[in-house]
A = this chain, B = another copy of it.
Amino acid sequence: MIRTAFFISDRTGLTAETLGRSLLSQFDGIEFKRITLPYVDTVNKARDAVALINATGQSDGRRPLLFSTMILPEVRDAIAQSDALILDLFEMFIAPLEVELGSASSHAVGRSHGVGASYTARMDAVNYALNHDDGGITRDLSRADVILVGVSRCGKTPTSLYLALQFGIYAANYPLVPEDFSAAALPSALSPLRTKLYGLTIRPERLQQIRAERSPGSRYASLENCQLEVRQAERMMREAGIHYIDVTSMSVEEIATTILHQTGFRR
């Protein structure tokens, strides 16, 4: 049976969508259709949304689920007229917080994201990650908070970018390649920075899949070569005392959070 879940907000809807998806993932065997309705910030838009939600319920034959982070009271009231099961993330928590803090909430939208200094810091970190991607510029490597190492296509680039965009961390990344394994030594640019190194590894079968999508039939993408590179990279990291994690079944968010957690950076 298909159930439709709406994520609705007077802002981006990212909070409603994030929590809603987590909750729905707890229910196996039910297929969910997910629809995000961001920027529903007037009563008129709310009425349009209610019409869509109710029509969807009619055609599904079951009322939709509605995850809401509405802050504006009049818009929230309009949404409350829908036939859906409403799970209002703000209403549920704002009331106990008002009691605990002895303070009324502002019911003002657009406060959840910082701008200004923290925006600049994150942008500087993104530029740093871009300039220090894939062993790009080595001059400035000592400014890195962390330098990710591992074989080609194991996930270093997206992880560096995520660390920069989400947390403002200066993350460089540097590939371990067959020439390093032949020399049985870390790339020379990395030796003085050993304490900043953090390794990613991956199961060879998954690496083969990823590489084959880009370079089908190549020796580079062959299972035999992937097995060899992964084995040699892991040995090199062990011998150099570099901590590494297997990212085969991790999302970019999970890899980044694990690194933050284990290296003890403050968010």
Interface residues of chain A, those whose CB is within 8 Å of chain B, are 3, 11-15, 17-19, 21-30, 34, 36, 38-39, 65, 69, 71, 85, 87, 89-90, 92-94, 96-97, 100-101, 103, 105-108, 111-115, 119-120, 122-124, 126-127, 130, 133, 155, 157-158, 161-162, 165, 210, 213, 249-254, 257-258, 260-261, 267
Contacts and interface: CB of A to CB of B under 8 A. Distances in A.
A79 B122 CA distance: 33
A261 B38 contact: yes
**Chain A interface, DSSP helix/strand/loop, else mixed:** helix
A184 to B, nearest CB: 30
A87 B94 contact: no
A14 B114 CA distance: 16
A169 to B, nearest CB: 14
B157 A161 contact: no
Contacts of A38: 257-258, 260-261
B158 A113 contact: no
Contacts of A90: 22-23, 26
Contacts of A122: 158, 252
B94 A23 contact: yes
**Highest count of chain B CB atoms <10 Å: which of A17, A23, A108, A133:** A23
A27 B90 CA distance: 13
Contacts of A124: 213
Given A26-B108, A120-B213, A251-B113, A85 B89 contact: no
Given A96-B85, A165-B161, A26 B106 contact: yes
Given A87-B96, A96-B85, A158-B126, A27 B105 contact: yes
